[in-house]
Structures are given as C-alpha cells and as structure tokens.
Chains A and B, each alone.
Chain A
C-alpha cells in the first residue's frame, strides 16, 4: 500500500486560492487535484482514494463540514485539513471533534500549510496501513478452523496448555499440535504477537 503515490485534493470555490495552493504543493513533488465544489470532489473520489484533502469551510452548495460528513458516509478515508477565512473557536472545536486533521486560517503561510499537509499525509498512510493490516489479519484468521480459533482465544488470554486442554476436554498433546498450526498459519512469532493479531482481527473471547 505504501508504494501508492498519495494525492493532495484541494476543494475551494475561489480559483486563485485553488491555483496558488496547488502550485505550492506541487513544488513539494506531490500530486495535486483541485475542485471548485464539494460535489465535483465527491464524484472524483472513492474508498481507495489515498492522500489528504484541503477543504474550504465556507462554500456555496455543500459546505466543508457537510462534505466531511458525506465523506465519512461514503467511506472516503482521506484526512481533512480545513481552511477558513475567519476561524472562530466554536467552529474549530467542532471541526476537530468531527475528526478534522487541522484547521488553518487564511492567509496561511507555506510552512504552516506544508506542515499540516505532511502530517495529514502521514496519518493518512498510517490509517491505510492499519486498515491493510486488519484486512490481512482477518484473512489470516479466517484460515483457522473453529477448534484452532477456540484454542487461540484461550491462549491469548494467558491460559497454559494444560488448562486449555482441560477446558476443551482434549489432550495436552492435541493442544500443542493446534498451537503449532496456529503459529504457522498466522505467521506469529510468539504468543505476544498472536495476542496482537487477535486484537487487530477483532477476535475476542466469546
């Protein structure tokens, strides 16, 4: 996933702002796509869009806040940096609460903008990595048999093999065989690693 090239999306109804910010970000060797309204941006994005979005709060039609809600609804996971003409405190609090990466007041300096974009891209890629890992873990865990899953759940909460054998009514030796298979199938290097996978994969004691 990290091999994907990130795109910085700019959504602002003011063409001079769009153009100048796009130039600034292109100078950093980043890909930029600019849109003059929320609707055009939504039409161009999908769940697989990767990078971050710089969005003007106040736009005719759908405004920035509504756009952010819409993105969440559509499963577009781009981190959002909001731009505003006059950022009052309640508005910025609301924006950050609803998951915005940052909240910048115009005019914005190059340093501030780029710092925000970089941190947004970073959290974007972390998010993508996390999602990829979860998906990978889920698929690993889905290879396990029901019995292996049972053994794994008991193992990751710290029960020794003897106890697992007693609880499941199987022999100590069988538990050892199951465990070896689990480690092999998931590629976990030790019990701690296995516990992490269980957590990531959403596997929890029933």
Chain B
C-alpha cells in the first residue's frame, strides 16, 4: 500500500517474499524502487495520471509488466490498483500477481489441451459444445462420424433430437435437465441409442459433459461422446453367461444335494435288503412260520421299491444336464480367467501354460467353465485367507496321450491341503471357508464326471493346493 506520494506505507509477507526485501527497507521508500530503472521515469507519469482519476483497475491493461526484485531479477507481473480513501487521505492498494507462473500454467494448459485432443482421437471420442444462450451447436468431425452424419452437415439441436432413439429421448432429456440445474453439480452423463441416418443402424452412445454457469444461469455445455455399442454387446454377453452359470449352479446345488441325500439313504437300503435276504436264506433250512418269511420278503421288496424311487429321482435330476460339444479347452481356460477377474477377484496373477495344437475335447463348455471359475476362485480365496495377497495361480493344460484325454491343472500358492482334507474336500457340505456351503467342489466333481472325466486333488505338495481334471478328446 502506498500513499498519494508513492511512498510505501505497508506491505504483506507475500509481497516481501516476492521482491526479497525485509519490511523496514520497503517502508517509506518510493514505489519506483520495485520498477526496473529504465522504466521508472515513465512510471512516475503513469502514477500522476492515476491520481487524477483513481479507480479500481488493472495496471497496464493487458501489457506485460515488469517489476524489479532486490537481487536485480526482473519479474513478470500483473498488477491491480485499488484506491482507498480515509478522510482526505488517498491510499493506493497495489496487488502483484506473479505472471511468470501463470504464463507457464497457460503454456501447460495449451500443451495439455493438445494432448487431450490426441487422447480424444485415440479413444474415438467426439467433442461437442453447445452455447445455450444463442443455442448454437458445435460438433467436431468425430462426433458427426459417430452419429452417422456427413462431415459437412449443418447440425442443429433439433436434428440431434431427431436421430436419438425415440425410446431414449425422455431419459436423455431428463439427464440433461438435471445437469442444467444451477443447484446441481453441472455434470451431464447419459447413455442413449441413436438411429444413424446414413445406414439406419442403431448404436449406443455414452456422453459426458460439463455445464458452465454464469450468474446462476447455464450458458454452455461442453462434453464428449463415444460409441459404446461394441462394449455394450460384450457386457451383455458376459452378463448372459453369468446368469446362465448362476442358474446352472442353482440347479447343480439342488441336484448334488439331492444326490448326496439319495446316496446316503441308498446305502442303508442296500444293507437292509441284503440282511433280509440273508435271514430268508437261513430260514429256508429250518421250520419257520409263514408270516416270518413273508415279512422278510416284503422287507426286501420295499427296500428295492425305495431304491427304485431314489434312482428315478436321480435320473430326473440329471435329465436337464447340458449336452456335450467339441470345444477348445485352451479358449475356455482364458474365458474362465477373464470371468473371475471381471467378478472382482483381480488380486492374483494368472499364469497360463497352454499346450499348442491341443485337440478339441468333448464336454459341455458352460459346465467346464463353471468348474474352472470355481477352482480359480477357491485358489484366490485360499491365498487371501492364507495371507498371500497378489499371488500367482497357475492353470496348465496338457495332453494325456495314453488315455486320449486332456489334463488341466490348477495350482495356487495358498496353504494347501493336508492328507485328510484332500480326501474330504469333495464331500458335499465340506468347507474351510467362513462363508460357503461346501458344495463347490462336490458340484465341480459331479460336472467333470458327467463329462466323462475325473477331478482330484494332490495331497500335501508344500506349494499350495493342486487340483487336476481330465476331459476326453472329441475324436
């Protein structure tokens, strides 16, 4: 701050730091000490002019101003002037803004804009800019291409509304309406379909933008758009596969649970029937009441009747099983790993060792995929609970020539299985997880066996759990 004679009467720490002077050297000195010598005389004239008409304004109006620091270095500055009246005294508040930095920032901005353009191009982004006050629309060439319009099309907002899919017009407008609300964040985000005028194809567009407000009014919206049709197709395919797998899983849980119960009931029935026949045979050698032999005969009959019902139940449960096809096991391994990673189990490094020129195997792809995802997930979970994060899971595919089968091995780096566990892991309802019903491996084994293969675990290997399964070759 200076008085009307140009004497410095007060400084703030930022100003002292900028010029490198202690306060006592500045106070009482003329303001010209902060101006390069060659410019001082001119400044004196400007100062007099200003005093004739003191007002709040930037100094120099758009010119590059130079100031002098204590060590003789010239600084590029922007200067603001504000007159302050105290009775008859006039003081001038002089604000310095270091323009050296802001120029650098400007350059950086230009550079980053350049980079953004490159990125936009690489990502296939189209840029749009709509002035809401004059309702003019600017779309770049990429946007026009995305929307299926000729490069020289004079685009209007009405035209844009027209090519938007009728079913998505309302939701897009609602998203726009929300972004234009001055109370909101000014974020525009919409996904909608368009019908491209050039070929009539329906495409999915994702668009995001930023609304600019002036005095509480939305005046402009700038943003980018992208054709996400292919992405959508992949997403929906993944979703479909997951749904199919889930429903398969549910059916398998039911089937395996029922199978397990049926097996448990069938064993005592078999023993019951055999014991009864043993008793009948013993009775044949001695004089025995007719009622006793009849009762035993009925025991045998009834045991077989119950057994038959169980077998019918099992047949019914397995009737819905999917048909096998000739499939590429290597591809299925890659798909399964992608599915597991997509499901948020990304904290592991898949190590895939595939044998090339692998013959096709004969199996149901979905079922094999289910088994693979199950085993990989188990491995990841075992490593996470075992405190080995971000570890490796190896999936290996080999040929078993002598058996005409493919052998798939899944190995993790978790705590592994002891002898007892290796025997019991495939039992229904056996689990080591806090959450889980212990059907995963029982189901997996059921699925592999249904496809003519075998699934087993190596006991105690020292280096994590190792599961193997085989599948027959198609030819």
Task: List residues of A whose CB falls within 8 A of some B CB.
Answer: 14, 16-17, 19-21, 23-24, 27, 58, 60-61, 65, 85-86, 88, 90-91, 94, 105-110, 113
Task: Find chain B residues with CB under 8 A from A65 CB.
Answer: 454
One of A17, A24, A105, A106 near B278 (C-beta < 8 A): A24
Task: Find chain B residues with CB under 8 A from A58 CB.
Answer: 263
Could you give 19 example pairs across A and B, Cβ below 8 Å? A16-B268, A17-B267, A17-B274, A20-B271, A27-B281, A27-B282, A60-B424, A60-B427, A61-B423, A85-B267, A86-B310, A88-B318, A88-B450, A90-B452, A105-B311, A107-B270, A107-B272, A107-B304, A108-B274
Q: Assess whether B273 is in contact with A107, with CB atoms less than 8 Å apart.
A: yes
Task: Find chain B residues with CB under 8 A from A19 CB.
Answer: 271
Determine the main DSSP class of B at the interface with A.
helix
> Measured between C-beta atoms, what is the minimum distance from B193 to chain A in Å?
47
- Given contacts A24-B274, A106-B267, whether A86 and B449 have CB atoms under 8 Å apart is no
Task: Find chain B residues with CB under 8 A from A106 CB.
Answer: 266-267, 269-270, 307
Q: Assess whether A86 is in contact with B275, with CB atoms less than 8 Å apart.
A: no
CA distance A24 to B427 in the complex (A): 30
The 4 closest A-B pairs by CB, nearest first: A20-B274, A16-B271, A106-B270, A107-B270
> Measured between C-beta atoms, what is the minimum distance from B423 to chain A in Å?
5
One of B266, B267, B300 near A109 (C-beta < 8 A): B300
Q: Assess whether A14 is in contact with B271, with CB atoms less than 8 Å apart.
A: yes
Closest Cβ neighbor of B274 among chain A residues: A20
One of A16, A24, A107 near B303 (C-beta < 8 A): A107
Is B190 part of the binding interface, using a Cβ–Cβ cutoff of 8 Å? Answer: no
CA distance A16 to B269 in the complex (A): 10
Q: Assess whether A23 is in contact with B307, with CB atoms less than 8 Å apart.
A: no
Is B314 part of the binding interface, using a Cβ–Cβ cutoff of 8 Å? Answer: yes
Is B262 part of the binding interface, using a Cβ–Cβ cutoff of 8 Å? Answer: yes
CA distance A50 to B408 in the complex (A): 38
> Measured between C-beta atoms, what is the minimum distance from B470 to chain A in Å?
12
One of A24, A60, A94 near B452 (C-beta < 8 A): A94
Closest Cβ neighbor of B305 among chain A residues: A107
Q: Assess whether A107 is in contact with B307, with CB atoms less than 8 Å apart.
A: yes
> Measured between C-beta atoms, what is the minimum distance from B261 to chain A in Å?
11
Task: List residues of B whose CB falls within 8 A of some A CB.
Answer: 259, 262-263, 266-275, 277-278, 281-282, 300, 303-304, 307, 310-311, 314, 318, 423-424, 427, 449-450, 452, 454
Q: Assess whether B314 is in contact with A86, with CB atoms less than 8 Å apart.
A: yes
Task: Find chain B residues with CB under 8 A from A23 CB.
Answer: 274-275, 278
Closest Cβ neighbor of B427 among chain A residues: A60
> Measured between C-beta atoms, what is the minimum distance from B96 to chain A in Å?
85
Task: Find chain A residues with CB under 8 A from B452 CB.
Answer: 90, 94
> Measured between C-beta atoms, what is the minimum distance from A103 to chain B in Å?
14
Q: Assess whether B423 is in contact with A109, with CB atoms less than 8 Å apart.
A: no
Task: Find chain B residues with CB under 8 A from A24 CB.
Answer: 274, 277-278, 281
CA distance A196 to B112 in the complex (A): 95
> Measured between C-beta atoms, what is the minimum distance from B452 to chain A in Å?
6
- Given contacts A105-B311, A107-B270, A107-B307, whether A91 and B449 have CB atoms under 8 Å apart is yes
CA distance A94 to B278 in the complex (A): 31
Task: Find chain A residues with CB under 8 A from B270 CB.
Answer: 17, 20, 106-108
> Measured between C-beta atoms, what is the minimum distance from B126 to chain A in Å?
56
**Other than the known A86-B259, A86-B310, A88-B450, what 7 A-B pairs have Cβ atoms closer than 8 Å?**
A17-B267, A23-B274, A24-B274, A24-B277, A85-B267, A86-B263, A107-B274
Closest Cβ neighbor of B280 among chain A residues: A110
> Measured between C-beta atoms, what is the minimum distance from B320 to chain A in Å?
14
> Measured between C-beta atoms, what is the minimum distance from A19 to chain B in Å?
7
Closest Cβ neighbor of A13 among chain B residues: B267
Q: Assess whether A21 is in contact with B274, with CB atoms less than 8 Å apart.
A: yes
